[in-house]
Amino acid sequence: MFHHYWGGGLSPQFESIAFKLTQAVPCLLIFFAAPFLGQLAMKGKFRLRALRVSVVLGGLCTMGLGWVPEGHWLFSAALYSFGGIAFFSASTFYDSMIVDYAPAGKRHQLSGMAFASGFVAGVVILIGLALGLFSGPTLSWIYPAAGLWWILFSLPLLSQTDYRIEDTEPFSLSVAWQGTVATARQLWSEPRVRWFLFAYILYIDGVHAVKTSAAHFGAVLGFSSNDLIKAFLVVQVIGIPAALAFGWLAHRVGAVRMIAAALVAYVLLTIFGSQIRPGMLSVAGYSFPSVWLIAAGVGMIQGGVQALSRSYFAELVPAGEEVVYFGFYSMMGKFAAFLGPVLGAIAGVFFVSSTDATAAERAGFASFALLFIFGLYFLLKADRAAKR
């Protein structure tokens, strides 16, 4: 939509950079706000009220994208950014609820079921797209459908009145800041945690960057909307069993080895993906668009990397410090979503070509490999520190 509809009149280079910055800005803002949101999440009454506001605001911004006129790229970018801020805020409050609403022995199972439900939702909406349920002059009706879906399926949670946490003391910015600084110092003093968070910031940023840039990248290269929709369906369908397989293998060979293998695969995927051309590939007599090969690769490793990162970090957390450590882990994840789009935008500036309109986008996609390479380096450094 951004490439063909809202930003269709922009130069290829400017449009590519504008799209990436639209993704980056809300992540950067939430990174600075995350420490305060985390502190507020400990206050039950405020948390649920803030979750309601975030969900409704995010849903309305998402729905509003369906009525942005053609060529109004700045308006669409603003709505997307406000919706992104609301989404990340809602996620912060929502994630903290697992401590209070799920029994200690059921948290992993409940969290897995929630992620699986998200994959199912993605599959349902993508099937709707593939069947043409949101077709028309544009795909704009997908936005009202997604925003309405978000709000409706949040209603059971938003209607809760059982506050598990009582507000015992007033919140202040100084308390939030002091708590954040103390946690940062504690994390920095432990080498294995420090190096893992460096690794996590880099490689999870690459994961987010590949995921959020994929549709725009494919559109710039010339793949049809139908091919891209089906490619995302491939990611969703393969992602469910692949994530389960990663967990099973990690139990036997170790989480670090599985994450490292996935990062090597991501390096190959980003480099290979930056060179693909629209067309068909044939494997065992079956022909399919070349972009599906990238989609299958991402589907096989994306969910596994995210799941094992969380479980491996849990092994590094001292007993009794789960809340503060995972709060900082979440904050790092928000910042991670900022670096990739900026790196892609910078690469696009330096690798623009007068003869190839896709050069900036290809360079940006290939640049994500750097995040996985340096992420792998720090991951292995954390593993060595853990074994000392």
pLDDT of amino acid 62: 93
Q: Is residue 378 part of a domain?
A: yes
Alpha-carbon dihedral sign for residues 149, 33, 309, 104? negative
377 in a structural domain = yes
For residue 193, give the CATH number of its domain: 1.20.1250.20
Tell me the CA distances in angstroms from 6 to 1, 122, 182, 348, 356, one per residue in order: 6, 24, 45, 20, 22
Report the alpha-carbon distance of residue 46 to residue 178 in Å, rounded: 20
**Helix 191-221, helix 225-253: angle, nearest 10:** 160
pLDDT at 131: 74
Considering the entire predicted model, what is its pTM?
A: 0.71
Within a domain: residue 164?
Answer: no
Q: In this structure, are residues 270 and 156 in contact, taking their beta carbons and an 8 Å threshold?
A: no
- Provide the β-strand partners of residue 281: 288
Domains: count for the chain: 1
Owner of token pair 């209607």:
159
**pLDDT at position 212, please?**
73
The amino acid at residue 159 is S
What does the angle CA 302 – CA 109 – CA 102 come to, to the nearest 5 degrees?
Answer: 120
Exposure of 182 by Cβ count < 10 A (0-12 exposed, 13-18 middle, 19+ buried)?
A: exposed
Kindly give the confidence (pLDDT) of every residue in the chain, 388 residues in length, as a single tens digit, with 9 standing for 90 and above.
887 788 877 887 788 778 878 877 887 777 777 666 766 666 656 778 888 899 999 999 999 998 998 888 899 999 998 998 888 888 777 776 766 676 666 665 566 666 667 777 777 777 776 676 655 555 677 888 889 988 998 998 888 765 554 555 555 667 667 777 777 788 788 888 889 988 988 898 888 878 777 777 787 778 877 777 778 778 877 877 777 777 778 778 888 898 999 999 999 988 988 888 877 777 777 777 788 788 888 888 887 787 788 777 777 777 656 556 766 776 676 665 667 777 777 776 777 666 666 777 788 888 889 999 999 999 999 888 877 6
**326: nearest Cα among 307, 337, 348, 310:** 310
Q: Quick one: DSSP state of residue 137?
A: S
Residues 6 or more apart in contact with residue 286 via CB below 8 angstroms: none
Using the structure block, give the residue that is written with the tokens 């690794």. 199
Classify residue 241: in a domain, yes or no: yes
In a domain, 349, yes or no: yes
Token digits of residue 278: 């629209």
Structural domain range at position 310: 2-156+180-387
pLDDT in tens, 45-70: 677 888 889 999 999 999 999 899 88
Question: What was the pLDDT predicted at 120?
Answer: 73
> Residue 203 falls within a domain, yes or no?
yes
For residue 230, tell me if it sits in a domain: yes
Two tokens at 63?
A: 């729905």
The whole-angstrom separation of Cα 120 and Cα 240 is 9
Distance CA 53, CA 37 (A): 13
pLDDT tens digits, one per residue of 112-167: 666 667 777 777 777 776 676 655 555 677 888 889 988 998 998 888 765 554 55
**Residue 166 belongs to a domain:** no
Which pLDDT belongs to residue 3? 78
